[in-house]
Structure 1
Amino acid sequence: MTNTDRLAEWLCEQTSAFAAHVRDFAAPVPTCPEWTVRDLVAHIGQEHRWAADIVRTGRPPAVPDPRAQEVPGDWASWLHAGARELIDVVGAGTAPVWTFLGDRPARFWLRRMVHDTAVHHADLAGRAPVIAADLASDAVDEVLGFVTAPGAATVKPALAELRGDGQTLLLRPPDLTPWLITRGPAGPTWRRGDADADADVTVSATARDLLLIATRRLPPDDPHVTISGDRVLLDHWLAHTAL
């Protein structure tokens, strides 16, 4: 798992990249259909501070509404200050804190905010987001960790539909170890696997594009993506893993 210093670097990088793609505050965000760019800016500024409050207190405050958030005129500095606040409080924290998967180390929230910020960067940048392969790889690890975590179906009942009898999906990026997902009777499991594994369906794309597919920011039919095998199995997986 990525260390805290690298996560802090990524959060600063992705917050800057997100801010660089902000143009018209009133413009709609197609991949967040109920939000405008202004709402997305408010959300990023809120969520970093919300996560920092969890680390400080160990418990979750109420989830904020971005539409109710006042966005200051110097919104870019406000975004960077929120990221810095989270980095600092995680660096100072030692006790486990609340997460939706049970108590975890404070760095859980730094990692979660890195990846969410990267995905929202993609919301504004479309095909253009610069998301490094190691960041995207860690984000896919995180998504699969959520989907396969014990008790995850209690939080998201649709995940219970992912039980199976050995069906396999392979996510294969170039130059990185792929992810092999197996749907078993107790639920799905995953591991970093063999690029030549004989899976029921294989999705070949960059780590960035695999992340964007997993988070519904890129359709699997994108010309930069290659799918071989049982497309129905892939569609079922995507239909039941939206987070």
Structure 2
Amino acid sequence: MTARLVEGLREHTEGFARAVEGAGQDVQVVTCPEWGVRDLVGHIGQAHRWAAKLVREGEPLEVPDPRQEDPGRPEEWAGWLSAGAEELIAAVGEADPDKEVWSSVGPRPPAFWLRRMLNDTAVHHYDAAVTTGAAFAIADDLAADVITEGMELLSAPGVEAFKPELAELRGRGETLGLRPSSMTGWLVTRTPDGVRWERGRADADVVVSGTVAELMLVFSRRVPPGDVTGDRALLDHWLARTAF
């Protein structure tokens, strides 16, 4: 599993770097309009280095502002981004896999941050690509893990303390289904105690269908849902309250 995370982080860091190559530094990111391309580059490289330091120290760190990061000149971005990814890979590789480190959802193994940064980088790779017109592709297993990790974070005990609006996802048994064309999907149930989910294919109050990459982009609120059956208002309520 760790080897696949390493492979994926390198792949999407490199893809992100190719997508922003030659882009104007102040071009507004289509899917993150509060950021310019330089801000997005700063975020990726900064986040990888921040996570590496967190793995090494094991304690919570202040979340940095990407606008305060200097990624260098545009022609240096690719090398700077790669160095940040490799720093994180090395930190996780050198850490005791049985010694847990801090995360916003409680103590987790060091590889948690490799996975978290891979999934964040993959989604921002799309942000960069759609902004600059570059090609974007993601393997089915990696796209699926963006969704699975998201479900794990949204349903983690105590997550509402970190993101209070998630309390609004409590319900009375309403169900949402994500139904990819190539694999088992996800079934979400809104309970009085919070979000519960499982892998499976079952009837739901609202179902979103598509390729797993399309569903990843819907789940991360990058594209509007296309093939929807059932209670669209339930889906819209979910999407409005699950942005991290």
Length-normalised TM-score, structure 1: 0.94
AA of the residue aligned to 2:25: F
Q: After superposition, what is the alpha-carbon deviation per residue over 1:14-63, rounded to whole angstroms, capped at 9, x for unaligned?
A: 00100111122221112111211011111111000000000000013222
1:4 is matched with 2
Select between 143-152 and 127-136 the one with higher mean Cα deviation: 127-136
Alignment partner of 1:153 out of 147, 160, 184: 160
Q: CA deviation at 1:119?
A: 0.7
Q: After superposition, what is the alpha-carbon deviation per residue over 1:95-141, rounded to whole angstroms, capped at 9, x for unaligned?
A: 21000011100001000000000111010112842111100101100
AA of the residue aligned to 1:44: I
Whether contact under 8 Å (1:172, 1:202) holds in the other structure is: yes
SS at match of 2:72: coil
- Separation in 2 of the partners of 1:8 and 1:217? 24
1:18 is matched with 16
List, as ranges, runs of 4+ consecutive aligned residues in structure 1 with deviation greater than 6 Å.
none
1:47 is matched with 47
Q: Structure 2: where are the runs of 5+ without partners? A: none
Length-normalised TM-score, structure 2: 0.93
SS at match of 2:182: coil
1:125 is matched with 129
Matched, 1:169 2:176: yes
1:234 is matched with 235
Whether contact under 8 Å (1:178, 1:193) holds in the other structure is: yes
Whether contact under 8 Å (1:180, 1:193) holds in the other structure is: yes
Q: Structure 1: where are the runs of 5+ without partners? A: none
Q: CA deviation at 1:161?
A: 1.1
- Separation in 1 of the partners of 2:24 and 2:211? 30
AA of the residue aligned to 1:204: S
Q: Identity of aligned pairs, percent?
A: 56
1:186 is matched with 193
- Separation in 1 of the partners of 2:64 and 2:166? 26
- Separation in 1 of the partners of 2:242 and 2:64? 24
Tell me how large the CA RMSD over aligned residues is.
Answer: 1.2
- Separation in 2 of the partners of 1:174 and 1:131? 15
